[in-house]
């Protein structure tokens, strides 16, 4: 348990492994709150682009992080009251988010905000360092993984369904570069917690992943 005795489930892993879908599923089954930490970093990236902040302007980025005007309402992300859910999901914003996420001062500025999401009846936290840094005492830690090629295929299909054309080779390269930054950053690198359960989703559909993880929650007494 965490210090607040709030049940916490962490879902970590790189982009495109199904973290968001799994986290949404678990919150629907448990009634827990949801923390989409990636959306917080994407909102910060969106704000940086909107305010024309240089990505090496650490004081400016920290100031924005500390007063980030973002709200999460149901499945929508609001920035200064505007629904920017689709805007923060673009590849451009994702690239900026990955770049600013390696800055230690930015991560520190956003840490308290993420911890504040842990409220009763519980929390499902989706991100890259939820189980290793933000909630190291979580009741259940999951780490999802899949090959870069599989994740690129999923992203291309997602974009096609939205009517957007995509180059799979470029997306694969972008994913590999993002993974490299996340794995090798000095602060909170992307890696499974020592006690995390690793789930390779490469050859599993999302329904199978959800059912497999749901059984783990029952085993840990996190579902009633």
Length of the chain: 224
Q: What is the pTM of this model?
A: 0.79
What average pLDDT does the segment 51-80 reach? Answer: 90
User: How many whole angstroms separate alpha carbon 152 and alpha carbon 92?
Assistant: 16
Q: What is the CATH number of the domain that holds 171?
A: 3.40.50.300
User: Does any domain span residue 58?
Assistant: yes
For residue 101, what pLDDT band results from cuts at 50, 70 and 90? confident
Residue 1 has pLDDT above 60, yes or no: no
Residue 84 has pLDDT above 70, yes or no: yes
The proportion of the chain whose per-residue pLDDT surpasses 90, expressed as a percent, equals 56
Which residue's entry shows tokens 């969106």? 46
Residue 86 has pLDDT above 70, yes or no: yes
User: Does any domain span residue 48?
Assistant: yes
pLDDT for 179-193, tens place per residue? Answer: 888 888 777 788 999
DSSP H helices in the chain: 19-30, 37-50, 58-66, 91-100, 104-115, 148-161, 168-184, 206-219
User: Does any domain span residue 207?
Assistant: yes
User: Does any domain span residue 1?
Assistant: no
User: Does any domain span residue 15?
Assistant: yes
What average pLDDT does the segment 35-40 reach? Answer: 89
Domain, as residue range, for 192? 8-216
User: How many whole angstroms separate alpha carbon 103 and alpha carbon 94?
Assistant: 15
Closest listed residue to residue 118, CA positions, set 19, 25, 8: 8
* Per-chain mean pLDDT for the chain: 90
User: Does any domain span residue 224?
Assistant: no
For residue 138, what pLDDT band results from cuts at 50, 70 and 90? very high
């Amino acid at each position: 348990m965490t210090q607040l005795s709030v049940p916490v489930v962490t879902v970590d892993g790189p982009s495109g492994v199904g973290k968001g879908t799994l986290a949404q599923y678990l919150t629907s089954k448990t009634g827990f709150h949801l923390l989409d930490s990636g959306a917080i970093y994407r909102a910060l990236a969106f704000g940086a682009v909107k305010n024309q902040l240089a990505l090496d302007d650490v004081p400016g980025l920290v100031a924005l992080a500390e007063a980030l005007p973002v709200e999460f309402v149901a499945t929508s992300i609001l920035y200064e009251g505007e629904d920017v859910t689709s805007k923060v999901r673009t590849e451009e914003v994702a690239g900026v988010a990955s770049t600013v996420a390696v800055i230690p001062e930015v991560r520190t500025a956003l840490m308290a905000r993420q911890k504040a999401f842990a409220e009763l009846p519980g929390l499902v936290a989706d991100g890259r360092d939820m189980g290793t840094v933000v909630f190291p005492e979580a009741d259940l830690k999951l780490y999802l993984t899949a090959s870069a090629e599989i994740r690129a295929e999923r992203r291309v299909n997602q974009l096609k369904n939205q009517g957007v054309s995509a180059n799979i080779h470029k997306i694969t390269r972008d994913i590999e570069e993002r993974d490299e930054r996340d794995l090798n950053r000095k602060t909170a690198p992307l890696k499974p917690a020592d006690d995390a359960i690793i789930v390779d989703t490469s050859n599993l559909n999302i329904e199978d992943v959800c059912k497999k993880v749901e059984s783990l929650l029952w085993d840990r007494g996190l579902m009633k």
